[in-house]
Every structure is written in C-alpha cells, then in structure tokens.
C-alpha cells in the first residue's frame, strides 16, 4: 500500500505519532495493508457511495478504502491521538476524507453521511462492535440508510451473527441479524496481523439488508428472544413463563411446539412468537 498511495508504512505512522493501542478503547491496529485492501474490496463498489468507517485508528483501512476508489470516507474516531495521522491521509486525498472526532454510539450516522447511498466498513473496536451492529440493524426505518456492512469482529462474535438454528452459537444476535439481513463470514484474520496481537482470531462479516423482512415488533422480538435464550436449555413452555402465565397457549398460537427449545426455532418462528406476544400484550 505504501507503493500505491505514497504514504508511510503504518508502523512508521504509529511510531511518529505515538499511537500505542489503548485497551480501554478496544484498539487493535491492523497493520497488514494487503489485508486492509482485501477488506476494502470486499465492501463492494466504493465509487458510487459514501463509506462510513468507525474507529479508523492510524488509518490502515481508511487508506485502503481511498486507494480502492472510495468517493468519500466519513471516519469517526474517538481517540484524539489519531487525528494528526488521519489528517495526513486527508491531505493526501483532498476532499475525499472527512474525519469526525467523537463516539459513534452517540452520533447520528444518517446525519454524518448526509443521505444518499452509504456502505459501512470498519475494523470495529472490540468493546463497542456488537452494540453498533445492533443499532444499525434495528433502525426504525427499513430498508436502512446503509446498503451493506463489512465489519471486523472477534471470530466468536462473527459466528454468533451468522449462526443457524441448532448450532451452539445460535442466539439473540443471530435472530436479530437473520430477521433483517443476509450475512456471512468472508474470511478470518490471524492475531499476528494486529498490533498488539489480540488473544483471539478475528473475522470479517458482510451483511446486506433484506428489503422485505417479515413484519415484526422489535421490542416484542427482543423480549421473546431474551427470555427464550436466557434459559436456552429449557423448553419454551418453561422459558417463556416469565412473559405470560399461559406460555403454552402463546407458543401454540405461533404454530410452534411448547416442548421445543430456543436453539431449535428458526428466525421466522421467533417472529411469529413475537407477533403473538404483541397481540397478547395488546389485549
């Protein structure tokens, strides 16, 4: 990448600006620019949209996105130490990189990107990655403001996002993601590719919105999945008793077996359960 964009290697950038990764911010910097380039290319066409990147750090993925032809990148960085390094990238790509200092959890992504087509691509900080994903896939307006998500997580989290019924990773996150998106793990990343190396393998996950997900009340779905997977070894007739005294009737009305367990129920089954629960609450 240094030969492509003419900017210094990331190790030199980190040394120049004293950017030792902070554990409190969930930082693990990806230094292999071949890998950041691979992630950028996995995000899809970049020249017809705005790219939202969260946690760019010293700018490895930012550089890859811009070098791959991104029309505009909006990078949100909480760590002020990284701003000078990102400014150098902005100077190298005039008018194509906007850096915003702030907490992505507290900012409105639609306002940040200004409307139009948006793709989100990020090596998400480990400590906020799951919450950001949930925020992006549970927006009130659907289809959402984004057309794709290309995100790096701990591999365990990635497996929870794409898990199917019957697997040990299948849970609330998989139901939420499966309800509104199509998702898959693109590839894994060895800890040695990062500074400092995390103790776990990472994975890049790609999600695209389902344009017409089954109609479902989000709050009902969240309560149903919380109760069901909170006691995943129990049959539904037992795990859902905390929500309604007649859990068995609720389950039957959703077309499911009261003796089934949470890990056996597919996304459509949970949607039907949530809608049945919503009806019960409305009575």
* 174-215 pLDDT, tens digit each: 999 999 999 999 999 999 998 888 899 999 999 999 999 999
Domain span holding position 230: 218-282
Q: What is the pTM of this model?
A: 0.94
Left (φ > 0), alpha (ψ -120 to 50) or beta: where does 170 sit? beta
The C-alpha atoms of residue 135 and residue 137 are separated, in whole angstroms, by 6
* 55 labelled binding-site residue: yes
Answer yes or no: do 23 and 162 share one domain.
yes
* 103 labelled binding-site residue: yes
Answer yes or no: do 81 and 175 share one domain.
yes
The C-alpha atoms of residue 137 and residue 146 are separated, in whole angstroms, by 10
The C-alpha atoms of residue 215 and residue 272 are separated, in whole angstroms, by 9
Answer yes or no: do 81 and 171 share one domain.
yes
* 190 labelled binding-site residue: no
Question: DSSP letter at 55?
Answer: -
Answer yes or no: do 73 and 166 share one domain.
yes
The predicted pLDDT at position 282 comes to 54
**44 pLDDT tier (thresholds 50, 70, 90):** very high
Q: How many CA atoms lie within 13 A of 281 on its CB side?
A: 13
Q: Show the tokens assigned to 186.
A: 């693109």
Answer yes or no: do 238 and 165 share one domain.
no
The C-alpha atoms of residue 183 and residue 240 are separated, in whole angstroms, by 28
The predicted pLDDT at position 283 comes to 43
Which residues is 150 bridged to in the sheet? 121, 206
- Helices vs strands, H then E, count in the chain: 13, 9
Tens of pLDDT, residues 210-232: 999 999 999 999 999 999 999 99
**CATH number of the domain within which 253 lies:** 1.10.8.100
Answer yes or no: do 82 and 182 share one domain.
yes
Q: What mean pLDDT comes out for the span 68-91?
A: 97
Answer yes or no: do 121 and 232 share one domain.
no
The mean pLDDT value of the chain amounts to: 94
* 30 labelled binding-site residue: yes
Q: Which of 70, 10, 67 is nearest to 46 (CA)?
A: 70
CA distances (Å), 239 to each of 26, 102, 165, 259, in order? 34, 40, 17, 10
Tens of pLDDT, residues 144-163: 999 999 999 999 999 999 99
């Amino acid at each position: 990448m240094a030969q492509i964009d003419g900017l210094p290697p990331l190790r030199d950038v980190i040394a120049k600006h004293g950017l030792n990764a902070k554990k409190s911010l969930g930082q693990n910097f990806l230094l292999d620019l071949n890998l950041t380039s691979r992630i950028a290319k996995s995000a899809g066409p970049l020249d017809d949209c705005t790219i939202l990147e969260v946690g760019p750090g010293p700018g490895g993925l930012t550089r890859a996105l811009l070098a791959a032809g991104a029309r505009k990148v909006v990078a949100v960085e909480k760590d002020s130490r990284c701003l000078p390094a990102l400014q150098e990238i902005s100077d190298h790509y005039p008018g194509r990189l906007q850096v915003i200092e702030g907490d992505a959890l507290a900012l409105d992504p639609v306002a940040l990107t200004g409307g139009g087509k948006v793709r989100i691509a990020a090596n998400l900080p480990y400590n906020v990655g799951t919450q950001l994903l949930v925020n992006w896939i549970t927006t009130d307006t659907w289809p959402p403001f984004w057309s794709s998500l290309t995100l790096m997580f701990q591999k365990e989290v990635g497996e929870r996002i794409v898990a199917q019924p019957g697997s040990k990773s299948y849970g609330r996150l998989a139901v939420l993601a499966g309800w509104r998106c199509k998702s898959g793990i693109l590839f894994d990343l060895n800890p040695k590719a990062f500074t400092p190396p995390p103790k776990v393998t990472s994975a890049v996950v790609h999600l695209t919105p389902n344009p017409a997900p089954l109609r479902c009340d989000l709050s009902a779905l969240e309560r149903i999945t919380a109760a069901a997977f909170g006691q995943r070894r129990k049959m539904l007739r037992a795990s859902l008793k905390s929500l309604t005294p007649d859990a068995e009737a609720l389950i039957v009305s959703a077309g499911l077996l009261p003796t089934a367990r949470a890990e056996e129920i597919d996304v459509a089954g949970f949607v039907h359960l949530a809608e049945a629960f919503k009806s019960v609450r409305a009575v």
